[in-house]
Structure 1
Amino acid sequence: MAQRIPATVVTGFLGAGKTSLIRHMIENSRGRRLAFLINEFGDLGIDRELLLGCGIEGCDEEDVVELANGCICCTVADDFLPAIEAILARPEPPEHILIETSGLALPKPLVKAFSWPEVRARVTVDGVITVVDAAALAAGQFAEDEAAVQAQREADPALDHENPLEEVFEDQLSCADMVVLNKTDLLAADAMEALSADLAAKLRAGVRTVRASNAAVDPAVLLGLGAAAESDLDARPSHHDDVGDDHDHDDFESFSMRLPAIEDVGALERRIGAAVAAHDILRIKGFLDRPDAERREVIQGVGPRLQRYFDRAWRTDEARRSEIVVIGRTGLDRAAIEATIRGEEEASAAAE
């Protein structure tokens, strides 16, 4: 039987650094022929553009497939399987497949799809890599004191303390073959040690953690794990094992907004910060048109933390534009958020 192509599933919560991790793998692929499946939550195609904008040899249009019709773990039959089959049908199939899930995806249903006969014969899950935002976790986001929650539940049985974010995060950890603790440069050494110890207690036996800044991890550490995860599903518990593969994303929503060319990027950052502080926004990501710059600027935010950098030059065949995606919990006041980010509230206040 021909050797199966290894596939690595990269999972992790919104803004943890999954796309940065994959970009680093591309930059250090050493000529290895890779293919990429990118699953986004939002309608702008930011993550695919971030990979294509890297300008790295071996990262071409046909190698980056975007699945944008919904969460990959909910659309396995409709989107994922046809995409994998198309990659395998190429005259020169890849040596390794990298799959970036959306920040809301449960990894186990996706791993289970590799057991389908048309896929299992040719592909194996080399490993599931879960990327964790160490700074967010240290601040108490997506981490919970289980004993305290249980005490609250017992004190008031009428309350439901289940948090979908917690369930997604815990499922991503329990399915991992390796955990990348990213953004460790934002934590002091003692906080980092405490966080590592706490996280290690939540992982399956044998699962290791790797610390990183800017998601810079040598691909030799992440690829070639040989986990064959599709044959090891029972060892990867999920909150959703008893309720089938479907899960509900109604707790989240996203929208995109177009902005004019950005003259004062500092003012835009302040307005985005004000919107994040006033609304339940989890993630901001997009591109900016800076009139004095020949290159497109990427802007990304997780909570109040924003990052900007120039990636590639604007092409002659594309219209320069500024556009961002806002992702948050259901019930976002889109009109108010857009007004804040556009500066309409500031203009109104100045006119009074």
Structure 2
Amino acid sequence: MSQTRHFASDNYASVHPEVLAAIAAVDDGHEPAYGADAATAAFDEAVATVFGADAVGYPVFNGTGANVVSLMALSPRWGGVVASEHAHINVDENGAPERVGGLKILPVPAPDGRLSPASLERWIGDLGDEHRAQPLVLSVTQSTELGTVYSLDAMRALTDAAHAAGMRVHLDGARIANAAAALDVSLAEACAGADVLSFGGTKNGAMGAEAVVVLAPDLHEPLTAALPHLRKATMQLGSKMRYTSAQLTALLTSVDHAGVPLWKRNASHANAMAARLRAALEPLAADGVLRFTQPTEANAVFVELPRTLAASLRETFRFYDWQPGTSADTVEVRLMCAWDTQAEDCDRLAALAASAGTSDASR
């Protein structure tokens, strides 16, 4: 099996040993199905401890499922969801919120992935207009699809503006751990102002585990009545839920000798590797061989490369094209670091880029 660690996605990464150990620990004998098991009860306790006593979590299989279930819980069928033009729910879920949830996505330009209170003005005027999808939910991604991170003040201003307009706030937290680690705050602090969270585990060391977490106390009663049915109807209810719950609990509660939880250790490492990769590529940017297109604030590096250089690097590493570059012979790519990315991986990619870039320049 190849030992190359790629930069295409943190989904490429292996499962963290502590997560595998947690799965093995619950793989013993019979347990009640569909969440009536001891491992899911432990997850419930972990959610209340980490996110607050009023928080309640519902394990699901994947991020798209978490997002669709969350949005369906927050909006009636005539509702619309305001989101960044780059939002995963808008461009990478094959229309699932609209096809499955019946909810119109209302995109807003966001050059660096982040929305602002002014972003809501594009759609707020449609409230009350029976001819328009009603902008009843704001979906925010933290960290964003472009690898940027909302500050706590920016997040609070945005969520306050949404609530003032009568909207509910969904937080797509596929990489919430990376954002919290970058801000050096708790998961609860990183979610402040959100009503419902799609908590991501798979990109942060889990085998395949996400969760819908209800954060707003006033939604506890209505959503605990609705979410079990929504989860089942959208095919996100796991029969052997103990294996999903155990993964999430490990991320939230497994600590090292210094008391640092696994979610933070994994995310901090991925962020540090992205910072290292960017630093290793900086000389090439200074020489004009490549151009960084976004700040590196979490675990992603966005960079515009000559297409010939991108092709050369792909002989060794996988990574995704993001969009065409500023000229026909360039392309913007995303280089994503994960919990298991190593310093030598970053240094090797940078060295290959320097070698290939120098060769191109000498032609």
What TM-score range do you get, normalising by the shorter chain?
0.3 to 0.5
TM-score normalised by structure 2 residue count: 0.36
TM-score normalised by structure 1 residue count: 0.37
Relative to total residues, which structure has the larger strand share, 1 or 2? 1
Relative to total residues, which structure has the larger helix share, 1 or 2? 2
